[in-house]
Amino acid sequence: MLADDDRRRLLEAAKLAASRAYCPYSRFRVGAAVLSGSGAVFAGCNVENASYGLTICAERNAVFQLAASGESPPLVRAVLIYTPTPAPTAPCGACRQVLNEFGPGCLVVSTCDGPGVIEATLDRLLPGAFGPRDLA
Ligand code: THU
């Protein structure tokens, strides 16, 4: 469950992040914002690189902002992804795996400039995930 106010805060942060995307190669802007265990919001955008494979996605950038904030433990309760496109964008496989580290049951919401919304829990998007418990 995501409270209306948290959804508004996440959307605002993700839109601002998308406006800051560095994507001269794909021209595909992505903004993401995560809601932490404390209720704080951390945002990230995609940052591309001339060496294409070094590009970082918006979702991972946002999760790493949370981890780097020092919030302990760094829990992801929800992530909202925004793309200025007619259809919503689901997180890539690498980002699903990184989200799983801190929010295996988190809510994933993808929004865009059209009417479509993707809303699912991470365990549905990444069933049977490998995670921290496998190393315990
Ligand atoms: N991208 C993201 O930021 N998140 C995703 O989940 C999928 C793809 C970015 C990476 C690259 O800068 C651009 O979108 C095109 O793949």
- 106-120 residue pLDDT tens: 999 999 999 999 999
4-135, which class in CATH? Answer: alpha beta
Angle, alpha carbons 30-36-102 (nearest 5°)? 85
Q: Looking only at Cα atoms, what is the longest distance across the chain?
A: 43
61 Cβ closer than 6 Å to some ligand 1 atom: no
Spell out the domain ranges in the chain: 4-135
This model's pTM is above 0.85: yes
136 Cα to the center of ligand 1, angstroms? 32
Average pLDDT on 6-22 reads: 98
59 catalytically annotated = yes
91 Cβ closer than 6 Å to some ligand 1 atom: yes
Provide the pLDDT for residue 93.
98
- CB-CB contact of 54 with 81 (8 Å): no
pLDDT confidence of 1, banded at 50, 70, 90? confident
> Count of residues for the chain?
136
